[in-house]
């Protein structure tokens, strides 16, 4: 645990008592604060109270007497589409609002660091797609080369549940827009922006608000190095804003589809090869095509971003390359589950939006595509240019029939359930085919989250393997 600093004898309210909320309350208490906790769920409140938290009804004015700060969980809206009533009350009373990310950045450095030979560092990764894989890949490389490292944030361990840093350690954080948009302190040593595509637009009041939430990690924090994916205009704009001159190597530009020219520092992938350029000259190159844990152009973008971040903390190209080869990938993100009878089964349940699904469809040939769920605004019409590799689509979930109308002449079948989709796809697949779960939709019609959806797919494939 990382005790929160400078809160001794303060009364601090905590809204939301899920994993991060309870960890935040514990870290505040460890720092000497008096915590007043609240959650909208009766069962959640009762469970938290049984664990020793003081439950205070923050919907009542009297609860705010003496409260110095409100700490809110990331999933609770504070502005759009409208503030949560408790947050609206804090706004009205002038009580500062923060989250666990802000508390982490103001509490991570301690006096113990004065005795370290190497100062601990923080790498923070944000973006629309690929940030989990990029975060995990950076952490994997660091551990493989023997560098002490921890991983947390939006993946794995909550930030305040991490251990205090040791000499030379690197903490790698995945940060969502929900986390970056409100944190009062954002001071990573290296900040990574993977890409941007429309998502969570109701929460951010549109695409501009969504980009602004991501941009805060760079504008507010002033990282020593910024790794910026420039395959979209937002990334180009961000890199331009952060650079003082064309050769400013505090910004490392990253691309997965084009060679990057100029005198600065860049890392890009073309035709399966990663290249690093500095001052207009190539300084390193590696072959990504045989790295099984990183299939497809979207994972090559992740590899470029992770490579750049690792270079920014002093790792050598060859040790990064060696570590890449032992990376197994993350569950639910282009995860190869099995190869049965020459047919590859891939779980990309995390592909919940158009951009992620498009990248999954571009990563494989002869695809038997399992798609559907709770469709998002706009449906999947925008995926039509990427359907040339789809042999047949198997449509599941709430939006199955709507999606069937949006995929044009692509052969398809409405099968409703995951069981039926896996059964039909496996029965019809031929050697060389890939059965790909890339839903392009949320999971909440049939599953509590994308992880459970992916786990169901994996279980069904494992049943096939057992015969």
Half-sphere exposure of 149 (CA within 13 A, CB side): 22
Helices (H) and strands (E) in the chain, counts: 15, 19
C-beta separation of 416 from 391 below 8 A: no
Q: What is the dihedral of CA 147, 167, 25, 29, to 10 degrees?
A: 160
Edge-to-edge, what's the strand order for the sheet holding 390-396? 335-340, 343-347, 434-437, 367-372, 390-396, 412-416
Rg of the Cα trace of the chain? 23
Annotated binding-site members for ATP:
127-133
Three-state secondary structure readout of 119-171: CCEEEEEECCCCHHHHHHHHHHHHHHCCCCEEEEECCCECHHHCCCCCCCCEE
Tokens 């995990």 sit on residue: 136
Give the C-alpha distances (Å, rounded to integers) separating 423 from 92, 334, 463.
Answer: 56, 20, 10
Phi, psi dihedrals of residue 5, rounded to the nearest 5°: -90, 155
C-beta separation of 184 from 217 below 8 A: no
Q: What is the dihedral of CA 185, 124, 312, 330, to 10 degrees?
A: 170
Annotated binding-site members:
127-133
d(CA 353, CA 439): 8
CB within 8 Å of 110: residues ≥ 6 apart = 5, 164, 165
């Amino acid at each position: 645990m990382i005790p929160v600093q400078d809160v001794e004898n303060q009364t601090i309210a905590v809204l939301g008592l899920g994993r991060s909320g309870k960890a935040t309350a514990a870290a505040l208490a460890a720092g000497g604060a008096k915590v007043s906790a609240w959650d909208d769920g009766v069962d959640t409140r009762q469970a938290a109270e049984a664990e020793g938290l003081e439950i205070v009804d923050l919907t009542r004015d009297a609860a705010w007497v003496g409260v110095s700060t409100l700490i809110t969980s990331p999933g609770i809206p504070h502005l759009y589409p409208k503030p949560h009533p408790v947050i609206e009350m804090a706004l009205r009373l002038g009580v500062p609002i923060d989250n666990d990310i802000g508390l982490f950045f103001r509490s991570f450095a301690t006096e113990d660091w004065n005795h370290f030979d190497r100062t601990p560092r923080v790498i923070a990764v944000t973006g629309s797609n690929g940030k989990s894989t990029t975060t995990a890949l950076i952490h994997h490389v660091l551990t493989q080369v023997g560098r002490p490292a921890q991983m947390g944030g939006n993946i794995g361990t909550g930030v305040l549940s991490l251990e205090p840093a040791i000499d030379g350690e690197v903490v790698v954080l995945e940060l969502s827009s929900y986390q970056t948009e409100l944190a009062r302190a954002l001071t990573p040593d290296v900040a990574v922006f993977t890409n941007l595509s429309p998502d969570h637009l109701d929460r951010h009041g549109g695409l501009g608000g969504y980009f602004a939430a991501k941009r805060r990690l760079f504008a507010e924090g002033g990282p020593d190095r910024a790794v910026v994916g420039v395959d979209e205009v937002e990334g180009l704009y961000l890199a331009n804003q952060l650079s003082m001159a064309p050769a400013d190597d505090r910004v490392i530009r990253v691309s997965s589809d084009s060679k990057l020219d100029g005198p600065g520092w860049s890392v890009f992938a073309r035709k399966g090869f990663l290249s690093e350029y500095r001052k207009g000259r190539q300084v390193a190159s590696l072959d990504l095509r045989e790295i099984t844990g990183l299939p497809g152009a979207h994972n090559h973008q992740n590899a470029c971003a992770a490579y750049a971040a690792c270079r920014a903390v002093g790792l050598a190209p060859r040790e990064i390359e060696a570590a890449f080869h032992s990376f197994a990938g993350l569950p639910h993100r282009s995860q190869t589950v099995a190869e049965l009878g020459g047919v590859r089964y891939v779980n990309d349940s995390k592909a919940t939006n158009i951009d992620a699904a498009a990248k999954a469809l571009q990563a494989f040939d002869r695809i038997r595509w399992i798609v559907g769920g709770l469709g998002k605004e706009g449906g999947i019409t925008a995926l039509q240019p990427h359907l040339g590799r789809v042999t047949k689509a198997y449509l599941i979930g709430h939006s199955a029939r709507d999606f069937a109308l949006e995929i044009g002449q692509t052969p398809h079948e409405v099968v409703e359930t995951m069981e039926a989709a896996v059964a039909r796809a496996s029965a019809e697949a031929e050697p060389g085919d890939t059965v790909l779960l890339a839903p392009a939709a949320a999971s909440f019609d049939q599953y509590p989250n994308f992880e459970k959806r992916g786990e169901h797919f994996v279980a069904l494939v494992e049943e096939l393997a057992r015969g």
